[in-house]
Structures are given as C-alpha cells and as structure tokens.
Amino acid sequence: MKTSNRNGLTESQAKVLKIINDFIAENGYSPTAKEIAEILHITQTSVFEQLERLEKKRYITRQKGAARTIGILNSVVEEKPVKSESVKLVKVPVIGTIAAGVPIFADENMEGEILVDESNIGKGRFFALRVRGDSMINAGINNGDLVIIKRQPLAENGDIIAALIDSEATLKRLSMTNDEVFLLPENEKYSPINVTCREDFRILGKMVTTVTVM
C-alpha cells in the first residue's frame, strides 16, 4: 500500500507538482488550472483541490484571483529521508460492504486495519472505505483504492464525503446550492444524486487522503 511519498505528498499531489515544475522550466511561467487539468485528464475542480493542499503543505504559493501566479516553494525532484522516529503511525479500521440495517461502525463491517502516518491525516477519528467503481476517477480516486475518512456529521460545500444512502456507503463530492443538496460524481458517465429531501441520507465523514493498493 502507498499513501504518500517521503515528502508527505499523495501520488495525485506529486503529479500536479511535477506538472507545474516541468511547465515552468519549459515555458518560464506557471500553467493555469485548466492547462493542468488537460495534461492530467482530470477536472479543474480536482486541480483546484490539489493546489489548495499543495499550498497548505507549503510546496507552492498562489495569488488568488490571478492566472499564472503559481510559484514553487519546494520541488519533489529531490527527496529528503525522514527519520523513522518522526513518523507516528495510527491504526485506521477498514470498512467493507455495509449490511442493511446494521450500523456502519459495527464489528461485522470491519475488514481489518491499516497503518497511516498521522501527519497525513491529522487528529480525529478515522475509518477507511474501499472504493468500488469509477465514479470518482476524475478526482484521482480509482477502483480498489482505499480512502481515509475523518468521522464527522457535517461537511462544507465542495468536500468529498462518505455518505450513507439507504444503508449503502458512497463516496461523492458534496454540492449545496440554494435549497438543494446533491452528491456529485467525478465522472461524466454518472448523474448527480439529489439528496435534498431524503431521510435515508447522512454524512459519515470527509475524505482526507487516499491509499493506493499496489
């Protein structure tokens, strides 16, 4: 399994950072989010999400509201080794298929546990959910991946969340517009799910990172 490289970046974040680095080296200026999206064949929404995370981790700088203002603070080309004692691993339960009528965190639903570097997920209560299907591929989330979810009953507009609908867990992007709430896929083959008035809908938590199963 692989959650991140030694720089603390996920595979998707490292790809975006490399694209920015290579683009600047070749052209002398930074790419736009649209250009990054076209190169990686993902949505601009996903690019903005990765840029925000790279900025929080202080790998890039950006000037809000202006194009071609991405600056590189730290490149992934040269990796510095991390001392083993600086890494704190936490156990995260892996949840499998959700049985109808059974609470999601019941022991029957646990497939096992994985160890995750705490620096990649922060503090809180977490669980891992196995991705089935290709509805989130444009966000860099593929079939078979594990996603780490921070348990929380609320989320912000645009967050990728794990939600429960009719006792089935699903991973989608939360969209709240006017008085309506939708769960959006990151694949044009699938349609949004309107959960505005559904009594069987609840938020299980917010995705914080992915785990690629090798």
What is the separation of C-alpha 57 from the centre of its chain, rounded to a whole number of angstroms? 15
Reduce the DSSP state of residue 177 to 3 states and report it: strand
The predicted structure's pLDDT at residue 35: 87
CATH, residue 35: 1.10.10.10
**Whether residue 138 sits in one domain with residue 113:** yes
In a domain, residue 5? The reply is no
pLDDT tens per residue across span 134-182: 899 888 888 888 888 999 999 999 999 999 888 788 899 999 988 899 9
In a domain, residue 4? The reply is no
Number of domain units in the chain: 2
The predicted structure's pLDDT at residue 5: 52
**Whether residue 66 sits in one domain with residue 107:** no
In a domain, residue 78? The reply is no
* H, E, C per residue of 64-97: CCCCCCCEECCCCCCCCCCCHHHCCEEEEEEECC
Best CA proximity match to 91, nearest among 131, 121, 47, 64: 121
User: In this structure, what token pair is assigned to residue 81?
Assistant: 């080794």
Crossing angle of the two packed helices 33-40 and 44-56, in degrees rounded to 10: 110
Is the distance from CB of 212 to CB of 131 less than 8 angstroms?
no
Best CA proximity match to 51, nearest among 7, 11, 20: 20
Q: Of the residues 48, 72, 96, which one is the last residue of a structural domain?
A: 72
Counting as low any pLDDT under 50, the low residues of the chain are 1-3, 6, 77-85, 214
**Whether residue 66 sits in one domain with residue 90:** no
Domain carrying residue 62: 11-72
Q: Cite the active site residues.
A: 135, 172
**Whether residue 91 sits in one domain with residue 27:** no
